[in-house]
Amino acid sequence: MNQLQEKECMKRAIKLAEFGMHTCKPNPRVGCVIVKEGKVIGEGWHKRAGGDHAEIMALKNCELNPEGSIVFVSLEPCTHQGRTPPCIEALIDANVSAVVFSSMDPNPEVSGRSIDMLNAAGIEVSHGLLEEESSELNIGFFHRMRFNRPFVRSKLGSSMDGKIALSNGESKWITSDASRKDVQNLRARSCATMTSNQTVLVDDPSMNVRIENFSTDDQPLRIVVDSSGKCSGNEKVFQLPGETMIHRDRANESLFEHLGSIEINNVLIESGPKMNGALLESGLIDELIIYMSPCILGSDAIDMFVFPAIEKLSDRFSFDIHDLHKIGTDMKITLRKKDV
Amino acid sequence: MNQLQEKECMKRAIKLAEFGMHTCKPNPRVGCVIVKEGKVIGEGWHKRAGGDHAEIMALKNCELNPEGSIVFVSLEPCTHQGRTPPCIEALIDANVSAVVFSSMDPNPEVSGRSIDMLNAAGIEVSHGLLEEESSELNIGFFHRMRFNRPFVRSKLGSSMDGKIALSNGESKWITSDASRKDVQNLRARSCATMTSNQTVLVDDPSMNVRIENFSTDDQPLRIVVDSSGKCSGNEKVFQLPGETMIHRDRANESLFEHLGSIEINNVLIESGPKMNGALLESGLIDELIIYMSPCILGSDAIDMFVFPAIEKLSDRFSFDIHDLHKIGTDMKITLRKKDV
């Protein structure tokens, strides 16, 4: 196969991985394409933790004997017994001739181990093809593996002058329908959403995914940070199907470490300026997604981030622009922390 | 010629027009391409008011007799005697066979008149090809012709949370080198720049174009709005080569009407939150160009627009997103008033 064909196969594997976007948590999203004599003979993807991994599904789906085939997989095949047996064994048993994987296993203790095992079985291995795309797909999982805490994404809707509501609190709606629909996708791909007691008491948000046919089992965990115990438990967020966790302390590093320990890959913050300000100051926001409407609300309106005045520009909180595009009549701006 | 070839010729005419970007004010930017037997035989553009129009320069530059040629010009050829004789006469005298122009003359009193004159002389005419691009090039000139006042563009540099300085006034520099260089281009294409006495007293800005080989004659008029007479005249803006106008009243509609009357096509506002807030409230800002740095300065920092609190979201000031792209490490966001 030439490079272009290999790239096409890996693109397809990544595309397949995306089918697990909303369902495979806490596992990574993985896709697999098996090619024999220049023809795709099997495809698979990981749908749900405890179910077949992408490689197994692709092997099962093969329309020809996979012996001698090339296997394209978006993540390094697992070498250990988890909820399911290791994929490496299945690939060796199937007598495939080569394995091309994209991202390395993010767990430093097993990363690259598959290469030795496949080589020992006489199977050619290469990796790194479209690594950026496949890593992006699993940024939360990778983050948890590396740092033992979730990837923290905060979503805000604002005006061009950085305001999230009028001074009287009116905020419905600053951003367009298209932006608000997109938020449903952000939620659907999150393991958890998080807000403050203040937001719950003022806005009474649902915090759940409202996408057609979205299973209750896949609803992200809803986390309400309520250190002062102000919520009654009668608010919507506590009544809807799915799980809600009340956190009786501040949203600090130990909360996120706890979330990592219960296999939360990524958290979507949907909260007000105080919580966002505090998390920003603590360095806990990995990504900001800002839906910005091309309107001006003026200096009296409510700011995005509240924290004590900084004295020097060098103390500002800096990000990199990861993505930037129009969405409906708004802009969607994705900023990423410099060291993520 | 087929459509694609015609489009290429008009693109080239518009490209040529851009050569006059910094120099032809208060005239519009115009370019012209003359084609005979499928080959470009002459090109021209308008460099400076009082000098040859694009059509005349292209005719003079023709390497073959232009008789029977097709003339592509980015703006409707002039039919009246201005600083120079009408181009229509020159085209008729040259016996060209067809004229394709892009934008109509924005002056409603003469708009379309060239069509009758050319037809009467037996010359084919068509118009509207790449009209959006050619109009964009002359947005200021068109605006002045239509409304008797300049196109008003306000440029701001801000953080992601809409702040233009720390609470202690520190603002150098929120945006990147690339953004600040781009501002030089904005100035260079402006007939005037405008600021407030407060900005002059606090920042002592130069307000001039600092681009290599930029002629002093082409420096935009610098306008300082100083209704309270606080400036001493010793500030930089008054000392540098080029003209500075002190306006001893507020920046209101009558100021802009005056600027229209002295052939100012476009004004670049580079000022603080009070002037920007007041202009926005008066509906006088046609375009906002925001250089936004991916950093957060917090709620205590200084806002982009100061004006009294609005009570209902429906009273917000809304724009359309005209353009959006990365510039250096920042974003450049161009917003346009809905009815411009």
pLDDT tens digits, residue range B90-112? 999 999 999 999 999 998 888 99
Closest CB from B161, B167, B306 relative to A309 = B167
> Whole-angstrom Cα distance, residue A237 to residue A226?
13
Residues paired with A333 in a beta bridge: A290, A324
Mean pLDDT for all residues in chain B: 95
Say if residue B152 is in the same domain as residue B14: no
Report the pLDDT value the prediction gives residue B109, as an integer from 0 to 100. Answer: 80
In-domain check, residue B142: no
B223 near B194, Cβ under 8 Å? Answer: yes
Say if residue A105 is in the same domain as residue A156: no
Say if residue A16 is in the same domain as residue A110: yes
CB-based contacts of B204: which residues, under 8 Å, 6+ apart? B235, B236, B237
A173 → chain B, closest CA residue: B313
pLDDT tens digits, residue range B148-191? 999 999 999 999 999 999 999 999 999 999 999 999 999 999 99
Residue ending a domain, choose from B137, B171, B196: B137
Q: Is A55 a catalytic residue?
A: yes
A164 → chain B, closest CA residue: B161
Say if residue A84 is in the same domain as residue A173: no
- Strands (E) across A55-176 are located at 70-75, 98-103, 124-127, 151-159, 163-165
Closest CB from B170, B313, B329 relative to A313 = B170
A290 → chain B, closest CA residue: B160
Report the pLDDT value the prediction gives residue B127, as an integer from 0 to 100. Answer: 97
Residue ending a domain, choose from B137, B168, B196: B137
- Specify whether the backbone of B283 is left (phi greater than 0), alpha (psi in -120 to 50) or beta: left
> Whole-angstrom Cα distance, residue A193 to residue A145?
20
Say if residue A191 is in the same domain as residue A125: no
Is A308 in CB contact (< 8 Å) with chain B? yes
The pLDDT averaged over each successive group of 10 residues in chain A (340 residues) is 94 98 96 97 96 96 97 94 86 97 90 94 97 97 95 98 96 96 97 97 94 94 96 95 94 96 98 97 97 98 97 97 98 90
% of chain B with per-residue pLDDT over 90: 95
Which backbone phi and psi does A94 adopt, to 5 degrees? -80, -5
Task: Give the pairing of strands A163-165 and A302-303.
Answer: antiparallel
Closest CB from B159, B316, B329 relative to A159 = B316
Say if residue A48 is in the same domain as residue A166: no
CATH number at residue A80: 3.40.140.10
Report the pLDDT value the prediction gives residue B110, as an integer from 0 to 100. Answer: 83
Residue ending a domain, choose from B137, B163, B189: B137
Which backbone phi and psi does A113 adopt, to 5 degrees? -65, -30
CATH number at residue A191: 3.40.430.10
The amino acid sitting at B236 is K
In-domain check, residue A221: yes
Residue B270 structural domain: 147-337
Say if residue A232 is in the same domain as residue A84: no
The answer, yes or no, to whether residue B323 has pLDDT greater than 70, is yes
Q: How many domains does chain A have?
A: 2
B residues 144..173 contacting A (CB < 8 A): 158-163, 166-168, 170-173
In-domain check, residue B251: yes
A residues 64..93 contacting B (CB < 8 A): none
Chain A residues touching B313 at Cβ < 8 A: 166, 170-174
Confidence of residue B326 (pLDDT cuts 50, 70, 90): very high
> Whole-angstrom Cα distance, residue B21 to residue B260?
19
DSSP string computed for A221-248: EEEEE-TT----S-SHHHHSSS-EEEE-
- Return the active site residues of B: 55
In-domain check, residue B126: yes
In-domain check, residue B269: yes
Say if residue B57 is in the same domain as residue B192: no
Closest CB from B273, B313, B331 relative to A170 = B313
A residues 254..273 contacting B (CB < 8 A): 273
Say if residue B323 is in the same domain as residue B192: yes
Residue A216 DSSP one-character state: G
Query: Helix, strand, coil shares of chain B as percentages rounded to 5?
Result: 30, 25, 45
> Whole-angstrom Cα distance, residue A124 to residue A156?
47
